[in-house]
Structure 1
Amino acid sequence: MRKENRILSPSLSLEPVTEDNAATILPLMQACYPPVYAHLWADGGEWYLRETYCVEAVLKDLAEIEAPYWIVKWKGNPVGILRWRRHKPCVDYPDKVGLKLHRIYLHPSTHGQGVGRQLMAATDAEARYLGKALVWLEAMDTQQAAQGFYEKMGYRVTGTLRLSFSRMHEKYRGMVRMTKLL
């Protein structure tokens, strides 16, 4: 798996998450996540962030084969994360192994600047390069702006699921699975 930076445009690049920079992910996510998702949690998402983005959790994610993890840099500054799972079956298409867009979070200051669109194009390009017939993701069912964005990118809802996080408000535990056929 390639470990070098990827330049997506003059102002947008992907820097691989490594052991050396794993400790930067939690503070980055503490800036990106709460403005959009804090309302989902009784504690504003602090537990989720510490549990999912502490150094140990990030290193565990890095150990997963074929699941590149990136720091998104816009105009030279870290503004989010992107993680793919390159060979992940989607329950809605059991005969196809797709690329799962596992994590994509961007700081709200980047919204409307074309950053998300470029990351989605890079995800599609990676899936095509790997010969995948589909890309899929999971999104909160209450995040209408995110779902609308994914629909503009060619995704459609193909399934639903519920999260079991007891610290998350019950009414916000619903998710949709969205799929894009390539």
Structure 2
Amino acid sequence: MLYNPEIQIKIHEEIDRVIGKDKTITMLDQSKLPYFNACLQEVQRIATVIPLNLFHRAIEDIKFDGFLIPKGTAIIPQYELIHKDEKEFPEPWKFDPCRFLDSNNNFLKDDRVTPFSVGKRNCAGEGMARMELFLFSSTFFQHYEFKPIDAKNLPPFEFDYSLAKSIKPFFVHVIERK
């Protein structure tokens, strides 16, 4: 949001128009906030907190995209490569929530964005995590505005990598909205 203040303004406008500043946001409100949901999905696409999944092994010979993957081959899904693939997401480093809105500004859930993995071994807590993420972040935007400490010197997008990817610490002004 520090790099895209116009997007933060649109989020605030949508929440103010649909929910207001005083009502507690609930899961019943999620479908009423398509722009916010698109922003949340775009954050998950760009951030890719878990860039590599756990090792898997092919249980049989697989032909994929013209290549043979022999039985027993270790397979490591790399979600970040998909999330930043220019064929899948034009201008992949551009924060563009509109890529997840249709022509009527309805939210489009995109199955290529996989913050919780895919298939039968995806995150068991995905449903609860999605609810918490929506409630936590929408409530933050309902009540606060995020501004850079120095608008001419924005914090860099630098990450620490381990099992999970996390942004390096930076300072930000969190201002209560009136």
User: By the TM > 0.5 criterion, same fold?
Assistant: no
Bigger-Rg structure (1/2): 2
The structure showing larger relative contact order (alpha-carbon pairs under 8 Å, at least 6 residues apart) is 2
Where is the strand percentage greater, Structure 1 or Structure 2?
A: 1
